[in-house]
A = this chain, B = another copy of it.
Amino acid sequence: MTGASALLEALRKQGVEVCFANPGTTELDLVRAMEEVRGMRCVVGLQENVCTGAADGYGRLAGKPAATLLHLGPGFANGIANLHNARRARTPIVNIIGDHASWHLECDAPLTSDIESLARPVSGWVERIASAQDAAGAARAAVQASLADGGQGATLIFPADFQAESVTPDSADAAAEAAAQPETFDAATAWQRLSRAQKPLFLLGGGGPASGLGRRAQIAAARLCAALGGKAYAETFPARSERGRDLPDFDRLPYFPEPARAALDAADLVVLVGALPPVTYFGYAGHPSRLVPAERLLELAAPGQDAASRLEALAELAGAPAFEPAAALLPEPAPGALTPQSIAAVVARALPADAIVSVEGGTCGYPLYAASAGAAPHTVLTNTGGAIGQGLPVAMGAAIACPQRRVVAVLSDGSTQYTIQALWSLAHENLPVTVLIAANHQYAILRNELRRGNAVLGERAAELTALDRPRIDWVGLASSYGVQASRAATSEELATQLESALRQPGPVLIEMAL
């Protein structure tokens, strides 16, 4: 077998089942090896940031890595932005980059570049395969590395000659697992500190089922709040969180520094439950970057640790009452022309049980969070790293990880343009993803920032944040990529179209006119 086949087979044995691919000439032996090594689903993206974003969505749901297959430095570079988001989400991903033949590198052919320098900022682990015989071992190491530290990008650079060369088949076949970190948790000490607090605040971080925003941790946090008179917040942009009418309705920590500080300053102890110490999103003059001084922080669980069990142990120590969900409240959508609030109300009502909701963009993101407390139980994925163009590919990857679940992507028009090519992959794979585009034809988040402190939006600033000359025709755009599409201007239209979309076997896009 070839080095390429050995690598693919090793990935398969380590449990990697999906590869989001945009290969080029230096990956062709890996493409050829796909004929031989069965069981690896290959999903083509028309641009690499689609592939890496989909791998992020897949990994957030599957809890194990997908592979990406990318072409040299420039192909990898096209996927960096969503790998940046994946890094912040602690998503395991294995990136395979074909490189020039090892003996060809020194002549600096047109596509040669410093791949390592590009890869390191978004990879916890980078390795260059040094021989065909090394390929299988490198694949195992990459999967293992991707699961380390709560999940990270692991990037393997695979020179084309080593892909093509013959190797002796590798006999190792143990599936990779995250090296079990022995967790030591001193519940008594934590309880001692917590029980002394007058106004504790639990900051819950998202991730897998045992994270601070999994079901168990949220319920334990609600019990502790009830017992201690505390409050709990979700971190502002969780990788994955559970939400809906059978769970407590915690606010997200606000984005802008003034309301975030108001929330945090009211607490005499901020308990980090799988969340990082809160910092402002950008530096704002007059506000500290670190919103809570170290002496008011208690790290109950770091991201990736078993936050649920720790909170449950504390709830027992507190003698906390059982959790009773509040009466489910679902806002009624105002009739007529769409607003962010009416969109949120329509979507919250329509969400099927166990849906996955990928949210990107401020226009509907916050209203939907508020409205969805009373919705059917669902899983929310948000943009963790701020590199926009993440919501659509993440929805695509989530749909591939969870073929039995409906995926709804609630997206802003500006951000969706960055990876618009994902629409083609949705159609190609016929994925049950409903894409809702809040079409306000502007970069609204920038206008909000520009207007902070009652500033006037300047003429050129308005030009540079306008997307309305021409207005993008989202229905035409989706149709051109083979995705069924319609436009809704009122709550009633949206409700009808959404209900229909959620019954389709494949993707549907609805442009929501704002």
Inter-chain contact A449/B28, CB cutoff 8 Å: yes
Inter-chain contact B282/A101, CB cutoff 8 Å: yes
**Which residues does chain B contribute within 8 Å of A34, judged by CB atoms?**
458, 460-461, 464
Inter-chain contact B75/A78, CB cutoff 8 Å: no
In the complex, what distance in Å separates the CA atom of A104 from the CA atom of B28?
Answer: 44
State whether the Cβ of A193 lies closer than 8 Å to any Cβ in chain B: no
Inter-chain contact A470/B458, CB cutoff 8 Å: no
A window 79-107: CB within 8 A of B: 80-81, 84-85, 88, 100-101, 103-104, 106-107
- Oligomer: number of copies: 2
In the complex, what distance in Å separates the CA atom of A203 from the CA atom of B244?
Answer: 68
Chain B binder among A212-220, A264-272, A314-322, A380-388: A380-388
The size of the chain A interface, using a CB distance under 8 A, is 93
Evaluate whether A282 and B78 lie within 8 angstroms (CB atoms) in the complex, with A35-B458, A460-B34 already known. no
Inter-chain contact A110/B458, CB cutoff 8 Å: no
Evaluate whether A160 and B283 lie within 8 angstroms (CB atoms) in the complex, with A25-B449, A84-B77, A111-B386 already known. yes
Inter-chain contact A459/B418, CB cutoff 8 Å: no
**Which residues does chain B contribute within 8 Å of A482, judged by CB atoms?**
470-472
Chain B binder among A43-51, A194-202, A336-344, A403-411: A43-51
A window 307-334: CB within 8 A of B: none
In the complex, what distance in Å separates the CA atom of A445 from the CA atom of B26?
Answer: 12
Residue of B31, B289, B475 near A460 (CB, 8 A) is: B31
Inter-chain contact B469/A479, CB cutoff 8 Å: no
Evaluate whether A446 and B24 lie within 8 angstroms (CB atoms) in the complex, with A34-B464, A161-B283 already known. yes
Q: Which of A's residues lie within 8 Å of B, judged by CB?
A: 21, 23-26, 28, 31-32, 34-35, 42, 44, 46-47, 49, 72-75, 77-78, 80-81, 84-85, 88, 100-101, 103-104, 106-111, 113-114, 117-118, 120-122, 160-161, 164, 237, 279-283, 285, 289-290, 384-387, 389, 414, 417-418, 420-421, 424, 427-428, 445-446, 449-450, 458-461, 463-465, 467, 469-477, 479-482
